[in-house]
Amino acid sequence: MSRSDSSPDALDHEQLRVVRGRRSGVVIAVAVHSTQAGPAIGGCRITSYSHWRDGLDDVVRLSRAMTEKAALAGLPHGGGKSVIMDADAVLDERDRLLVLEDLAEVITSLDGAYLTGPDIGSTPEDMEIIHGLTGGLAFCRPESGGGSGNSSTATARGVLAALDAAADHVFGTGADLRVGVIGYGSVGRLVADELAARGCAVTTGDLDGSRRAVAEAAGLTWSTEDLLGEEFDVLVPAAVGGLLSEERARTCRARLIVGPANNQLTHDGVGSTLHERGVTWVPDVVASAGGIIHAVCREELGLTEEETTRRITAIGATVTEILTDARESGTTPQTAARDLAARRRTAVPA
């Protein structure tokens, strides 16, 4: 490791850099969890923390999850993540550039071990800038710059593949589903609208009430209630992470939970609570991978859109494998996903 850190969670990381940017003065952390299968990939999160240690915890946790996500998706990559710990520092365009230059400097110093992409607070346009400054170490650039563009459509496609496979596993093929979608944003909207178009009874809600008219026009029921407490066959978390706490896992009334939000569980034990209550939870590292599969396949591997779509849809087969393994071995889907990721990490195709 490049820097010693008191957090034991960071000790399984190959590299961890925490710097105060010399141009911006902002604290930036970059974590490379693994390069075993190839260079680490993972987005750049720009957000504010009450203490820099919280940002460090985030980058460590998120980069480890990226190693699992890349392995489960069959990508020739390990996991990494970067965190810029002051969202206010990028409000002004000139200041934003200084922060991006600082981040690019850290990425360059890692000698190709880490490639970044967009995450909360960062954009495809930011990736264009970092791509230029680092000589190509950023993905998900705008289509106008030769990149693969917005990842929401691919992410939604992956969520639908995961949902279809999991619903077949839990309810049997062709069941009429009542679905709740938490968050009617870029991905949630695509998933909710598609399910409604297929004839499912879909309820959605969003902190942003201005989305209600669009949702209702698409045939959805709008709710201002906490959808975790409502009765659904399937619940799709498509808002922020950390939605499923121990307490909420004990009271939630859905039978299946599958969605794109990253880091849905507040801690690993929540997965066991859901399992004990007979709620099937599809790990977000599997369900949310469509976007990154699209970016890597199009920008790096040079695959056609058709082949890329095939790889995204294969998320469904991975979900079936995980849920079948969990059922047969009596473990949680989380444990089954980790085991499968470990097996795939050593056998990643190009």
Ligand X SMILES: NC(=O)c1ccc[n+]([C@@H]2O[C@H](COP(=O)([O-])OP(=O)(O)OC[C@H]3O[C@@H](n4cnc5c(N)ncnc54)[C@H](O)[C@@H]3O)[C@@H](O)[C@H]2O)c1
Which residues lie near ligand X (CB under 6 A)? 120, 151-152, 155, 182-188, 205-208, 238-241, 260-262, 288, 291
- Whose CB is nearest to ligand X? 185
Is 32 assigned a ligand-binding role in the annotation? Answer: no
In the complex with ligand X, which residue's Cβ is closer, 295 or 323? 295
User: Closest Cα to residue 110, out of 8, 16, 193?
Assistant: 16
Q: Closest separation between CB of residue 190 and ligand X, Å?
A: 8
CB atoms within 10 A of CB 152: 19
Q: Closest separation between CB of residue 298 and ligand X, Å?
A: 14
Is 269 assigned a ligand-binding role in the annotation? Answer: no
User: Closest Cα to residue 44, out of 85, 1, 81?
Assistant: 81
- Start-end of H helices in 302-347: 305-313, 315-329, 333-345
Give the C-alpha separation, 92 to 95, whole Å. 5
In the complex with ligand X, which residue's Cβ is closer, 186 or 245? 186
Positions annotated as catalytic residues are: 81
- The helix/strand/coil state of 280 is strand
Give the C-alpha separation, 249 to 253, whole Å. 9
Q: Closest separation between CB of residue 286 and ligand X, Å?
A: 11
In the complex with ligand X, which residue's Cβ is closer, 26 or 62? 62
Is 186 assigned a ligand-binding role in the annotation? Answer: yes
User: Closest Cα to residue 228, out of 253, 211, 204?
Assistant: 253
Give the C-alpha separation, 20 to 318, whole Å. 40
Is 282 assigned a ligand-binding role in the annotation? Answer: no
In the complex with ligand X, which residue's Cβ is closer, 183 or 333? 183
Is 183 assigned a ligand-binding role in the annotation? Answer: yes
Cross-strand partners of 138: 116
Residue whose pair of structure tokens reads 């082949």 in the numeric block:
307
Q: Closest separation between CB of residue 116 and ligand X, Å?
A: 14
> Binding site: what residues are annotated?
183-188
> Binding site for NAD(+): what residues are annotated?
183-188
